[in-house]
Structure 1
Amino acid sequence: MRATEISRTRLCSASLIALALLLPGSTQAQSAGNGLTNLIDSIFSPNAATPPQAAAGQDGAAPPWSGEDGASGHPLMTAAAIRQAASDFPNCVAAMWPDAARRNITQQNFERFTAGLQPDLRIMDLLDSQPEFTKAIWDYLDILVSDTRLAKGREILAKYKPQFDSTEKAYGVDRYIIAAIWGIESNYSTQMGDRSVVQSTATLACIGRRQAYFKDEFLSALEILNRGDLRPEQMRGSWAGAFGPTQFMPTAFKRYAVDGDGDGRRDVVDNPSDLIASTANNLKKDGWQTGASWGYEVVLPQGLNYMLADRAKAMPLSQWEQLGVKRPGGQPFPRPSDKAYLLAPAGAEGPGFLMLQNFRVIMKYNPAEAYALAIGHFADRLRGGQPFVQPWPRQERVLSRAERLELQQLLAQRGFYKGTPDGQFGGQTREALRSFQVSIGAPADGFATSEVLERLRGR
């Protein structure tokens, strides 16, 4: 995600785990919602958060708004401000008509698509939550790259082979990556979310701390309906407005959706040709390199300087080899001149990965390294590749939010951390942790463990 504004968070809309998530300060976001992908993104992206999902209401209905102040402390997220904005909701929506007219939306359609619109205040709880516990990256990979999902992915690839063939020829984007995104974002169209995109984006355009951003999403949703690409009943998705099997936000739909079969509509919900082609167009416009991999699992040598594990420190694969970084089994790198950066998501005790340009492209789709790793690995498995060779440090316990907050506070007390402790780990926290690890003679891998926390406590 780019800078501090959510512009393209790509999160799936339905969950196999009872959690709802948000990304209040993350950058480069395409959508936001609740689901397995959110779960990953919220944990492995900077400044993200993961609240437990509230219990369902009576008769299994969605839970109502809690009526409480948001955790961010933003003045527009107080309970009083939310109630006041909600009472003015009809006027807020009506006031957006001049902007809609400038987008060539007819008044008849504006009135038709906004008639009887009411705010969904439950979204305020989802927008402004705080995390307590998280999961380890290996747990997410176990869930996302499962045998069941792989079997379904192979069925999808066979069923829509003509569409994948034509899309690969037209856009040069690997079919297995598209199939992996489809599988992880919506479990192959079975979990796309059921909230009205118009209602969700209108709510967020008029209430809460992200109004300017979501006003554009709301008006873009109306443009889609006005043009006739989709029907209102098709535009159902996550709490933040992501819809379809590969979870397009309305503004992303405008940028990337294409008519894959020439029928005059861009239907990324129910038309496989349009869905596959639009997802490929998204990746191509973000810089996809035809014929190249996303990256490689690598074995890291003893004594490696983990300060090199930095997205800004890309080097040719041949140079990494000179440093002793090898593929498992001694396999060669097919294109040794390609530049890659080193990712060690579980620190010195886990596997390493060299990430290429296409990995960065996947991260533009969803800026979480765990998500992009899952997509790349899932794609490799779909084409017949093997599981990762090296073990994960499954014995490690993931820190709770309170422990993460304490770790930041202790790093700050020792002069390593200059930010405001918030219990959410980003680049600044990892750099501070690395500096502390150097000071105690430990591998500077930036991996937060209970052992590191104990060392900071001085025990």
Structure 2
Amino acid sequence: MNTFPVVRHHFVVILILGTLAIPGLSSANTEFSTCLTSLQAQARSAGINESILRDVVPGLQQQERVISLDRKQPEFLQTFSEYLDLRVTPERVERGRALLEQHRPFLLDLQKQYGVPPQYLVSFWGLETNYGSYLGRMPTLDSLATLACDQRRSDFFSGEFIAALQLMQRESLEPADMQGSWAGAVGHTQFMPSSYLHYAVDGDGDGQIDLWRSERDALASGANYLKALGWQSGLRWGREVQLPDNFPFQFAGQRDQRRPLQAWADYGVKRSDGGKLPIASADAALLVPAGHRGPAFLVYGNFEIIMRWNRSELYAIAVGHLADRIAGAGALRNGTNPQEPLRKTDIELAQKTLNALGYDAGPVDGVLGSATRSALRDFQLANNMVADGYPNPSTLEAIATHDRR
């Protein structure tokens, strides 16, 4: 009768001893524990209650999956067409239109107060959590502590960890209440804890701010955040446009070199339907995220505000386009035709070679950012190629030829 319990007991002992023998595991746990002690001291200096410091912080667990996701480096990079097709789907447009109607009176009140049109708030909601259908299931405090104790972005996530504790204290939350993305973003609109603290507002009037459970709190908070970032009332995000056959693409893709709409009209730029650009005093930059064979966009000042929410041009275009679709617009006229897949190794080789040739492509990280696009544009211009800043096969082959010399 006692055989099984005895065997189980010995098994547990062996398992514990075996765990202690795993190289690096004990030291990693010790480092995390030491880091938690340091975070505890920072939290105490920030005014966090002793009960939270005593009962919550010491029990936090390091999340290896968080580190794995933070280090994840895909072999292939998403092209513009892949990115947009995954995010601006017919189902998401249809659901967004239904929610716009459902919340219209409330959203119009928010527009009066904050200046942000309803379709943009619904678009952010749709892209961040698919209208609240997936808020994330990672324990927020554990995730932030893990990232704060990792050297790659320790300072940033230490601040977010302290902000999460302040949020927990202010809103009387339990650790189990706080779940979200692996990087610590929470709620319907995926606010980082510091944004939650500074910009979240009580949209439903119940005296509490709850971005997890209150759609109105989340929508009102999104409006307040965008206004604080500098949203310009009465100005759209941008628009799809037509370019003439002889367009000088070296002027595209440079968001820091905006031109008046009339200047773009003088270059032959038209609305996507072929009509003239509006007569307005707004300045705009031109983006060709898929290169000269893909769609082109004139983007205005509010595009930069969207990018302060998420520092990705593709994300900002997706927000704007989904907002347009929710408001009743159709699909892109130039479409999102399939593109050649982008390999991370190809981008790394291009960055390495461009840097060696004197074009500043930034760090060799395989990320197609603004510095790399600028270097590609300069290389294309110097080699009598269409200077759209896009790593199409002919451009990559020309760069590879230089690398083999």
Q: TM-score of the superposition, structure 1-length normalised? A: 0.78
Work out whether 1:349 is the aligned partner of 2:298.
Answer: no
Q: Which residue of 2 aligns with 1:370?
A: 314
Whole-angstrom distance in 2 between the partners of 1:82 and 1:325 = 60
Indicate the SS of the match to 1:290: coil
TM-fit CA distance, 1:420? 4.7
Work out whether 1:176 is the aligned partner of 2:119.
Answer: yes
Question: Greater RCO between the two (CA within 8 Å, min separation 6)?
Answer: 1
Deviations 1:106-129 (A, max 9, x none): 111332332522211222222223
The one-letter amino acid of 2:158's match is: K
The one-letter amino acid of 2:383's match is: I
Output aligned runs, 1:60-459, within 5 Å: 84-228=27-171, 230-309=173-252, 310-394=254-338, 396-417=339-360, 419-458=362-401
The structure-2 alpha-carbon separation of the partners of 1:248 and 1:419, relative to structure 1 and needing over 3 Å to count, comes to closer
Higher helix share: 2
Indicate the SS of the match to 1:96: helix
Q: Which residue of 2 aligns with 1:21?
A: none
The one-letter amino acid of 1:404's match is: I
TM-fit CA distance, 1:269? 1.2
The structure-2 alpha-carbon separation of the partners of 1:457 and 1:383, relative to structure 1 and needing over 3 Å to count, comes to same
What is the percent sequence identity of the aligned residues? 38
The structure-2 alpha-carbon separation of the partners of 1:253 and 1:320, relative to structure 1 and needing over 3 Å to count, comes to same
Whole-angstrom distance in 1 between the partners of 2:120 and 2:24 = 43
The structure-2 alpha-carbon separation of the partners of 1:276 and 1:417, relative to structure 1 and needing over 3 Å to count, comes to closer
Deviations 1:94-115 (A, max 9, x none): 3333432333321113323325
Whole-angstrom distance in 1 between the partners of 2:174 and 2:130 = 22
Indicate the SS of the match to 2:195: helix
Q: Which residue of 2 aligns with 1:33?
A: none
Indicate the SS of the match to 1:379: helix
The one-letter amino acid of 2:86's match is: I
The structure-2 alpha-carbon separation of the partners of 1:443 and 1:115, relative to structure 1 and needing over 3 Å to count, comes to same
Any conservation in 1 of the 2:351–2:361 contact (CA below 8 Å)?
Answer: no
The structure-2 alpha-carbon separation of the partners of 1:405 and 1:102, relative to structure 1 and needing over 3 Å to count, comes to closer
Between Structure 1 and Structure 2, whose CA radius of gyration is higher? 2
Indicate the SS of the match to 2:239: strand
User: What 5-or-longer segments of structure 1 have no aligned partner?
Assistant: 1-78
Any conservation in 1 of the 2:180–2:186 contact (CA below 8 Å)?
Answer: yes
Indicate the SS of the match to 1:296: strand
Indicate the SS of the match to 2:264: helix
Whole-angstrom distance in 1 between the partners of 2:117 and 2:206 = 24
Any conservation in 2 of the 1:229–1:265 contact (CA below 8 Å)?
Answer: no
Any conservation in 1 of the 2:285–2:299 contact (CA below 8 Å)?
Answer: yes
The one-letter amino acid of 1:368's match is: S
The structure-2 alpha-carbon separation of the partners of 1:210 and 1:332, relative to structure 1 and needing over 3 Å to count, comes to same
TM-fit CA distance, 1:186? 0.6
The structure-2 alpha-carbon separation of the partners of 1:377 and 1:440, relative to structure 1 and needing over 3 Å to count, comes to same
The structure-2 alpha-carbon separation of the partners of 1:243 and 1:418, relative to structure 1 and needing over 3 Å to count, comes to closer
Whole-angstrom distance in 2 between the partners of 1:229 and 1:169 = 31
Indicate the SS of the match to 2:77: coil
Whole-angstrom distance in 2 between the partners of 1:130 and 1:146 = 25
Whole-angstrom distance in 2 between the partners of 1:441 and 1:255 = 50
Whole-angstrom distance in 1 between the partners of 2:379 and 2:257 = 21
The one-letter amino acid of 1:345's match is: P
Whole-angstrom distance in 2 between the partners of 1:449 and 1:83 = 48
Whole-angstrom distance in 2 between the partners of 1:88 and 1:390 = 53
Indicate the SS of the match to 1:342: strand
Q: Which residue of 2 aligns with 1:41?
A: none
Whole-angstrom distance in 2 between the partners of 1:344 and 1:223 = 42
TM-fit CA distance, 1:192? 1.6
Any conservation in 1 of the 2:242–2:274 contact (CA below 8 Å)?
Answer: no
Whole-angstrom distance in 2 between the partners of 1:161 and 1:82 = 54
TM-fit CA distance, 1:355? 0.3
Whole-angstrom distance in 2 between the partners of 1:421 and 1:118 = 33
TM-fit CA distance, 1:81? 8.2
TM-fit CA distance, 1:141? 1.1
Any conservation in 2 of the 1:85–1:206 contact (CA below 8 Å)?
Answer: no
Indicate the SS of the match to 2:135: coil
Any conservation in 1 of the 2:138–2:182 contact (CA below 8 Å)?
Answer: yes
TM-fit CA distance, 1:130? 2.6
User: What 5-or-longer segments of structure 2 have no aligned partner?
Assistant: 1-21
The structure-2 alpha-carbon separation of the partners of 1:95 and 1:442, relative to structure 1 and needing over 3 Å to count, comes to closer
Indicate the SS of the match to 2:56: helix
Any conservation in 1 of the 2:186–2:192 contact (CA below 8 Å)?
Answer: yes
Deviations 1:254-311 (A, max 9, x none): 1211112332211111112211110111111111111211001111112222221111
Number of equivalent positions? 380
The structure-2 alpha-carbon separation of the partners of 1:316 and 1:115, relative to structure 1 and needing over 3 Å to count, comes to same
